[in-house]
Amino acid sequence: MGYFQSISLKNYRNFLNSSFEFNERCNVIVGKNGSGKTNILESISLFEKGRGFRKEKILNLINFQNNDLNFKIHSKFYHNNNDYDVQIFNDKKIEKNSKKILINDSSDPSSLKHFQNLLSFIYFLPEMERLFVSSPSMRRNFIDRLIYTNNKNYNSLINRYKNSIIERYKILKNPVFDKDWIDQLEKNIVIFGSEIYQKRLEQIKIINLILSKLNISKQFSHKFLLKINDSLLENNPNIYTFDQHLFSLELKKNRKIDCITGGCGIGPHRSDINGYKIDNNFNINQLSTGQQKTVILLIIIAQCKYLITQSNLSPIILLDEVCSHLDNENRELLMYLIDELEVQVFMTGTEKNFFSFLSTKAHYCNIT
């Protein structure tokens, strides 16, 4: 099991110089709105590859109150009897800031890769409460994020696919274009897109299988299945395989309309992810906000169980303002996450009494 033991923040967001200690299981960060609770969660998420769960520009992470143009995040991380001293800071080169990470004072790429392979983050953010009535892109991003927790190369696949889509559109806008060039680009789109379809279908299959076997509570009544809605998949008799030939034919057929409308009208970037209750085929997007939160917490639990049992990874769970719409059922799910799974959990809230159901299980960090 890996977990963060401590973190210190210097010139980061609203923190000039602050430090926090954590325990290996449940940590609750309490403070008024605007005190910086989410900033602490974000600082933890930055230890993973990328720009954290806000995807913020590095420049916006700097607190300029002391006229210091640099921020620093310092943490102690423990994993399998090994201690890691990890630092994050901004490196400014020719008016551009980038994130730099040192592992035990080393910038060696192999050390960084080793450390980041130990990490796996799963998020719950306030906007996810109504995930199943929000935009399809949010649901795609949610599933893609779950895939990334176990496949660190997945984002590169997504980027190669998106870049091919953009390049194809640029070519289609020309009155005359090289047919071989567009054929090769569409071949790449089919290859990359088909792999994305397959990864998402595998992820949905894993979640549905684990959910079908979960027995957390006798009172739990929302047994459900996730599914992918996509015109290309509807023509496929077996949703766990994919017809690349059909994808290729549709791309060629849609060249003219894609040139007019922009982008690409078919592919995994047009998919939607939804689900339904097994007992009555009731769509998840018709559930109440609290029930939709229940669905998301169950998906998080299912993914945790998969990572722990199949990938030997103990994910770190970041739950921002999770206590709204927290009925007894959702409290029970949070208790299961904390008590039954070997994961480190961070939760934020404005009042300590919101977390009274945790009893003495939590370590509290109060921000004043």
Q: Give the containing element (helix H, strand E) for 267.
A: none
Contact call for residues 21 and 3 (beta carbons, < 8 A): no
User: Over the stretch 228-262, which tens digit does the pLDDT of each residue have?
Assistant: 999 888 654 444 556 788 899 999 999 999 999 98
Q: Provide the β-strand partners of residue 4.
A: 77
Q: What pTM value is reported for the model?
A: 0.92
Planar angle of CA 301, 307, 309, nearest 5 degrees:
100
Q: Which domains does the chain have, with CATH numbers?
A: 2-120+314-366 (3.40.50.300), 131-277 (1.20.1050.90)
pLDDT for residue 220: 56
- Residue whose C-alpha is closest to residue 317's, from 115, 28, 111: 28
> Amino acid identity, residue 126?
P
Enter the tokens of residue 239: 């949703």
Whole-number Å distance between alpha carbons of 91 and 81: 31
Whole-number Å distance between alpha carbons of 273 and 296: 13
- Residue whose C-alpha is closest to residue 269's, from 142, 157, 140: 140
What DSSP line would sit under 127-188, residue for residue?
Answer: GGGGGGGS-HHHHHHHHHHHHHTT-TTHHHHHHHHHHHHHHHHHHHTSSS--HHHHHHHHHH
pLDDT for residue 237: 44
Phi/psi region, residue 44 (left: phi>0; alpha: psi -120 to 50; beta: rest), is alpha
Torsion of Cα atoms, 286 then 291 then 293 then 294, to 10° = -130
- Residue whose C-alpha is closest to residue 56's, from 69, 35, 38, 76: 38
Phi/psi region, residue 20 (left: phi>0; alpha: psi -120 to 50; beta: rest), is beta
Residue ranges in the chain modelled with pLDDT below 50: 236-239
- Residue whose C-alpha is closest to residue 61's, from 25, 97, 109: 97
Give me the residue label for tokens 């992470």.
61
pLDDT for residue 176: 84
Listed in sequence order, the DSSP H helices in the chain are 37-45, 109-117, 136-148, 154-172, 179-213, 231-234, 244-253, 255-261, 289-310, 328-340
Q: Provide the β-strand partners of residue 21.
A: 6
